[in-house]
Amino acid sequence: MKRYKVFRREDAKKKLFSKLSPVPVTELPAGERTDLLVELSQTATSQIVHVPVVVARGTKAGPVLGISAAIHGNELNGVRIIHSLLNGVELDKLSGALLCVPVVNVPGFNAGARRFIDGVDLNHAFPGKKEGKPSEQYARAFLNMFLPACDYLIDIHTASQGNINSMYIRADLMSDVVRHLAQLMNPDIILHIKGGDGTIRHAARKRKIPAITVEAGNPSMFQGRMVFDGELGIRNIMTDLDMYPG
């Protein structure tokens, strides 16, 4: 009987459509890694979509560095960069916290697809809409859960299908802080782009959260060199922000 779960529409609605508050980073245990599965949205057939969120909190106070990957579901290098970083960081040496979302576009990732399940590019759907398309509702819920908890944002991508990328950064170079973050990644190329409408970087900029987009290599594959360089760049940023010894 365990496998037959009674579904109560009203309960589900109450739970999911109450306003999703930001990840309570400072309420989680210091000096520990906490793995969360956040109930972010619901499919058309009422399955709950969980988004994996990892909070690695240091023992000392400091900024919260947000790191997101796979807003495009076929972009894998960022997933590996986040895992590699989390596996290597010693939390007793960390000040502040890493707030990591290895896979933002969970439905796309599970389908091996770049776009969201409604065919929309999720990185054109921010800040989202309450009564919008599935992608817009998802984007809105994600933004409310993630962005207000971040002091800085690194959003990791790769090239789109059929394209080949080096390691390059998209950033608003008119901001001194953002330009510095971009340089610390030590990429091959830095591209000055304010951040088009609908991107998570644009949403961050509107909230005055310094943010860069990292384009790390090619889609649909894991590339060791990109993972190595990406992690090194993020460690440079952590050192510069006095979060971690360099």
Residues in touch with Zn ion (CB under 5 A):
72, 75, 157
- Which residue, 75 or 229, is less far from Zn ion as judged by CB? 75
Q: Distance between CA 181 and CA 197 in Å, rounded?
A: 21
- Which residue, 20 or 159, is less far from Zn ion as judged by CB? 159
Least CB distance to Zn ion at residue 217 (A): 11
Peptide bond preceding 245 in cis form (omega within 30 of 0): no
Residue type, position 96, single letter: G
- Which residue, 17 or 222, is less far from Zn ion as judged by CB? 222
Least CB distance to Zn ion at residue 114 (A): 7
Q: Which residue is nearest to Zn ion (CB)?
A: 157
Least CB distance to Zn ion at residue 155 (A): 9
- Which residue, 65 or 216, is less far from Zn ion as judged by CB? 216
- Which residue, 89 or 125, is less far from Zn ion as judged by CB? 125
Least CB distance to Zn ion at residue 167 (A): 14
Is the separation of the CB atoms in 89 and 56 below 8 Å? yes
Give the residue from 194, 106, 84, 210 showing the smallest Cα distance to 150. Answer: 210
120: CB partners within 8 A, 6+ apart:
133, 134, 135, 136
- Which residue, 143 or 243, is less far from Zn ion as judged by CB? 143
Phi first, then psi: what are they for 153, rounded to 5°?
Answer: -135, 130
Only one residue has tokens 């399940």, namely 117
Report the half-sphere exposure of 75 (CA within 13 A, side-chain side).
Answer: 32
Task: Output the CA torsion 53→56→61→66 (10° steps).
Answer: -40
- Structure-token pair, residue 11: 């309960």
Report the relative pairing of strands 152-157 and 211-216 from DSSP bridges: parallel
- Which residue, 76 or 209, is less far from Zn ion as judged by CB? 76
Least CB distance to Zn ion at residue 31 (A): 33
Least CB distance to Zn ion at residue 71 (A): 6
12: CB partners within 8 A, 6+ apart:
42, 46, 48
Least CB distance to Zn ion at residue 46 (A): 29
